[in-house]
Amino acid sequence: MGWENRGENGPYYTRSTRCNGRVVREYIGGGLIGEICHLVDMDRRNLRELDKEILRFDLESLSTADRDMAAMYRQIQMLVHAYLQNSGFHQHNRGEWRRVRNAKKE
C-alpha cells in the first residue's frame, strides 16, 4: 500500500493484495479518494496490530496461569503421595496405588 508518482499526474494511491498466490496491485486513485482510502487502510492495519497485541498479552497471561497451576498440581501431588504412603499404600509400577500386603504394623 502506498502512494506512487508516475508521470506528470501527481501522486495516486495503490493497494497490494494477494490473489491466487500472486501479489496484485490495485489502483485506487489520487486526491481526496486516495487520501480517504489511505486513511481507511491505515485504520485497518492499526486494528490488526492491536488485535495481535491483545492476543499476545492473553497468551502471556495464560502461560503465567499455566505455570502457577502446574506448580500447584506438583504440590498437591506430593501431599497425596505422602498421605497414601503413610496410610499403607504403595504405587504399583508408577501407576495405581495398592494397599501394602502383609505390612508390619508398628
pLDDT at 22 over 60: yes
Handedness of CA 68, 70, 73, 75 (dihedral sign): negative
> What would the pLDDT profile of 38-88 be if each residue is shown by its tens digit?
899 999 999 999 999 999 888 888 888 888 899 999 999 999 999 998 988
Q: Which three cell numbers stand for residue 103?
A: 505390612
Burial of 44 (0-12, 13-18, 19+ CB in 10 A): exposed
* pLDDT for residue 48: 93
* pLDDT for residue 103: 61
Confidence of residue 104 (pLDDT cuts 50, 70, 90): low
CA distance 10 to 99: 88
